[in-house]
Amino acid sequence: MKAIILRDKKAALQLSDLPIPHISADEVLVKIHAAAFNRRDYYIQQGQYPGIKFPLVLGSDGAGIVVEIGENVPKTWLNQAVIINPSHQWGENERVQAKDFQILGLPEHGTFAEYVKVSHKYLASKPTHLSFEQAAAIPLAGLTAYRALFSRANLQAGENVLITGVGGGAAMFALQFALAKGASVYVTSSSAEKIEKAVALGAKGGVNYKDADWHKQLQALAGGFDVIIDSAGGEGFSLLTDIANPGGRIAIFGGTRGLIPNISPQKIFWKQLSILGSTMGSEADFSEMIAFVVEHKIQPVVDSVFALEMAQTGIEKMGKSGQVGKIVLRV
Ligand SMILES: NC(=O)c1ccc[n+]([C@@H]2O[C@H](COP(=O)([O-])OP(=O)(O)OC[C@H]3O[C@@H](n4cnc5c(N)ncnc54)[C@H](OP(=O)(O)O)[C@@H]3O)[C@@H](O)[C@H]2O)c1
């Protein structure tokens, strides 16, 4: 089969030939129709991720058709159009993933290939309102956004929400999911175009986080925020505790801007704030997320679609953060 292989740290992604994977009794073989990039794929290529092994087929996101099933897999999956849950071995505890938790696409070969094998418990039916390209845009980012917003921050209709860095893949899903829930949503971004896109989708407004007074601009726009979804961390994070409403929940799932300095304990305890770490999601989160996408007919924002052999061009675009929404590979 054709697959995109990463052979070394910082090496270009290369189209190569690999044997089609052999499945075990609990697994299925999915013929991938579309896959999508996450920041994780870029970090792995740059060597900035723990436990990297080479050669590796990258890719956590994929949608396709089940073409072969193991003997323990319900027959109904055969020939079904599916989305793959990349969050593997979460375990029994809904609060936190198990020690042997893994994400598809390292250490197991991922979705940037004609075929991938996964356990049948990581399959969901592809929503019928979505194309394969749109469906492939959902799994990792959609799951991360869903758990942060709902399982962790317990977002309610009518609340004020801030999504920082809305150009991010998971942030864009957080925007769409929060709007579908009936929240009033505001965003930050480094790009006027991305703020405009967010407003076109239904956000009430947005500000540029590169402006020195971005937090004051947000306060003037919205008052304060009941829920904040952040994946930047860094120096700006402490200002999020200023603009959170009393009783506010701040969920964080990324650290694009590094360590967080200067947080005031008084602000956290007096305002009864909750700072909630979140990562990917459980199998229950994944099926609830897909049900939410179906119920609200969510259309993922796809920035661009490249042919599989153009994977290197796609990951370079991801590296420059020039995208609005997801970068997809057609396989
Ligand atoms: N824990 C998990 O399960 C999980 C899952 C997914 C992602 N992540 C992490 O979350 C982060 C984003 O991932 P992604 O895949 O969504 O990546 P991405 O699409 O590349 O998004 C990165 C975004 O970060 C935003 N950003 C940069 N500096 C910022 C700042 N000072 N304040 C606010 N936003 C800022 C930018 O937004 P603008 O373009 O709008 O300026 C940029 O588009 C990464 O660190 C990733 O590792 C974690």
C-alpha 121 to ligand 1 mean position (Å): 28
What is the pLDDT at residue 25?
Answer: 98
CA distance 325 to 168: 7
CA distance 132 to 106: 23
What is the pLDDT at residue 112?
Answer: 98
Q: Ligand 1 pocket test: which of 321, 323, 324 has the largest number of ligand atoms within 8 Å of its C-beta?
A: 321
CA distance 7 to 12: 8
What is the pLDDT at residue 62?
Answer: 98
Whether the CB of 254 sits within 6 Å of ligand 1: yes
C-alpha 324 to ligand 1 mean position (Å): 12
Give per-10-residue mean pLDDT for the chain (331 aa): 97 97 98 97 94 95 98 98 98 98 97 98 98 98 98 98 96 98 98 96 98 98 98 97 98 96 97 98 98 98 97 95 92 96
Verdict on whether the full-model pTM lies above 0.85: yes
Residue 287 vs residues 2, 70, 126, 130, 261: alpha-carbon distances, Å: 30, 22, 11, 16, 36
What is the pLDDT at residue 74?
Answer: 98
Please state the atom number of ligand 1 nearest to the C-alpha of residue 42: 20
Whether the CB of 189 sits within 6 Å of ligand 1: yes
Number of Cβ within 10 Å of residue 313's Cβ equals 13
C-alpha 165 to ligand 1 mean position (Å): 6
Both tokens of 235, joined, read 């120096």
What is the pLDDT at residue 29?
Answer: 98
What is the pLDDT at residue 299?
Answer: 97
Q: Beta partners for 64?
A: 32, 82
Please state the atom number of ligand 1 nearest to the C-alpha of residue 255: 45
CA distance 315 to 331: 15
What is the pLDDT at residue 322?
Answer: 82
In contact, 105 and 59? CB cutoff 8 Å: yes
Query: Domains plus CATH for the chain?
Result: 2-138+300-330 (3.90.180.10), 143-277 (3.90.180.10)
What is the pLDDT at residue 235?
Answer: 96
